[in-house]
Amino acid sequence: MSIKRIVYLDNASSSFPKPKAVAKAAADTINLIGANPGRSSHDLSLKASRIVFEARMALAQILGLANPERIIFTGNATEGINLALKGLLKRGDRVAISRLEHNAVMRPLHTLKKRGVLVEFAECDENGLPDPAKIPDVKMLVTVAASNVTGAMADIGAIGGACAKKGVMLMVDAAQTAGSSPLDVSNVDVLACPGHKGLLGPQGTGFIWFRKGVEPATLIEGGAGSDSESVDMPKAWPDRHEAGTLNTPGVAGLGAAAKYLAKRTVESIRSHETGLCRLIMERLGSRGDILLYPPYDPEQRANLVSFNIRGMDPAQVGERLNQYGIASRVGLHCAPQAHRFIGTFPHGAIRVSPGAMTTKSDIDKFLKAINKVL
């Protein structure tokens, strides 16, 4: 089947297609620049440095992040989350989490638990997200901005305000919202973002941002292009946490994507994707043989809809959809904890996730395919 005939509804895993400028920026960086940013000082290296600088600035602008130098480029959100959790938590520290965390958070915390970090669930609302009125007395609260399983969106503004009042550090995993939903970061202390989902950048990109004053221990150490005489990592950010050569072509693509988002606006993408999710939910929800999971209001959800068909294995449904040219994602979505919370563990669910480039016609094709599957 040709790629053109595939209806891609797996944007919650990785967005596709990307804006054309993304591939061009990455290819131009490989073909025309090539040099190492922040290392040498010849013109090509300087051009590479400017690409990285501009990408950092563009991302900070669309996400409303102060101090762009505190954006640390990583290979993905998971790498950033590891840096934050392992760099900030030590033996005896208490950390609370939502009921919907992805393995990107659960697995590093499992390791940290064995090292003496105390991990607990926060008091949560009916959707499994932290209740701003019941923030626990912990060092750090970790929550998804939106679940990659249910789509439920946390009220980060209210949670952040409550955490700030109690002196609790707030870390947000924005894997399902960065670039696709506006986020109130005014009281967020640590923000993890993948580059390749809603931000529309290439795979192999992502970043973690730390508010000024939040000082994680270094996790990856090595050459950073500055303070080379010292055996310690530089004190200046971002060099302090960016050891080794960056994925400059990827960062170039991510920067181009950020500029695309600045023009199209996150708000308009949010509106577009919410409309498509509303259509999916209305049509699937009208059938008695399909199970949807709360929240049922598309305004309270990220751009994804998980469902099950009574009497059918999600994997079987995914396979049938694939035969009809529909790209979905089935199973546990690397978030078994979230599936336990909604009662779909261990079989999981089928998830469809429209993106910035998805059309209503794509959704119509998906709904027709579902009729054939049933």
Sites of contact with other proteins (CB under 8 A): 37-41, 46, 49-50, 52-53, 56, 68-69, 225-230, 234-239
Rg for the chain, CA atoms, rounded: 21
CB nearer to other proteins: pick between 46 and 367: 46
Min dist. Cβ of residue 53 to other proteins (A): 4
Q: In the structure encoding, which two tokens stand for residue 369, read together?
A: 């395919």
Q: In the structure encoding, which two tokens stand for residue 262, read together?
A: 């600045």
CB nearer to other proteins: pick between 230 and 371: 230
Going by the DSSP 8-state scheme, the letter that residue 152 receives in this structure is B
CB nearer to other proteins: pick between 39 and 287: 39
Min dist. Cβ of residue 49 to other proteins (A): 5
Min dist. Cβ of residue 64 to other proteins (A): 18
Min dist. Cβ of residue 56 to other proteins (A): 7
CB nearer to other proteins: pick between 55 and 200: 55
Min dist. Cβ of residue 358 to other proteins (A): 35
CB nearer to other proteins: pick between 73 and 341: 73
Neighbour tally for 251: CB within 10 Å: 29
CA dihedral 187, 193, 197, 202 (to 10 degrees): 140
CB nearer to other proteins: pick between 238 and 253: 238
Min dist. Cβ of residue 209 to other proteins (A): 14
Q: Catalogue the E-assigned strands of the chain.
A: 7-8, 71-74, 94-97, 118-121, 140-144, 169-173, 190-194, 206-210, 290-292, 305-309, 326-327, 329-331, 349-352
CB nearer to other proteins: pick between 61 and 226: 226
Min dist. Cβ of residue 41 to other proteins (A): 4
CB nearer to other proteins: pick between 14 and 40: 40
Going by the DSSP 8-state scheme, the letter that residue 46 receives in this structure is H
Min dist. Cβ of residue 265 to other proteins (A): 24
All residues at 6 or more sequence positions from 54 whose CB lies less than 8 Å from its CB, including other chains:
255
Min dist. Cβ of residue 255 to other proteins (A): 13
The answer to whether residues 139 and 119 touch, using CB atoms and an 8 Å cutoff, is: no
Type of residue numbered 153: M
CA dihedral 125, 300, 133, 139 (to 10 degrees): 90
CB nearer to other proteins: pick between 53 and 345: 53
Q: In the structure encoding, which two tokens stand for residue 116, read together?
A: 């003496």
Query: Helix (H, G, I), strand (E, B), or coil: what is residue 64?
Result: coil
Q: In the structure encoding, which two tokens stand for residue 176, read together?
A: 């399902």
Rounded Cα–Cα distance for residues 21 and 202 (Å): 11
All residues at 6 or more sequence positions from 72 whose CB lies less than 8 Å from its CB, including other chains:
80, 83, 207, 208, 209, 210, 237, 238, 241, 242
